[in-house]
Amino acid sequence: MLRYLPFLLVLAVWIYAFIDVLNTPEKEVRHLPKVVWVIIVLLFGEVLLGPVAWFVTGKKRRPSGGARSSRGWVAPDDNPEFLKGLEKDLDDKRDES
């Protein structure tokens, strides 16, 4: 079983890269058209050159957890609109009592 592990790992990376290329929007693809990246990943996937090239140069990177994106998800306790809504709900409940 252990002798199949390298083959299975290469296959998993190959499939992941292929699906990642297909799911990445065209505007986030760098250097080459998306169709060319699909071909590169498929042709050079057995030796991991295609998937590694895709992960390193083909896809735009998003900022890591330290930098906040204005269009990304924000935790409820960091979201001013959510906190204002909670305050409004508390005020409404106080008015009812």
Q: How far apart are CA 16 and CA 14, in angstroms?
A: 6
- Interval 18-66: pLDDT, tens: 999 999 888 888 888 889 989 999 898 788 888 888 888 887 776 655 4
Q: Which residue has the higher pLDDT, 88 or 1?
A: 88
Q: How far is CA 52 from CA 3, 56, 59, 66, in A?
A: 23, 6, 11, 25
Amino acid 55: pLDDT: 87
Give φ, ψ of 29 to 5 degrees. Answer: -90, 135
Amino acid at 25: P
Reported pTM:
0.59
Which is nearest to 47 in space by CA: 23, 17, 20, 21? Answer: 17
- Interval 58-75: pLDDT, tens: 877 766 554 455 556 777
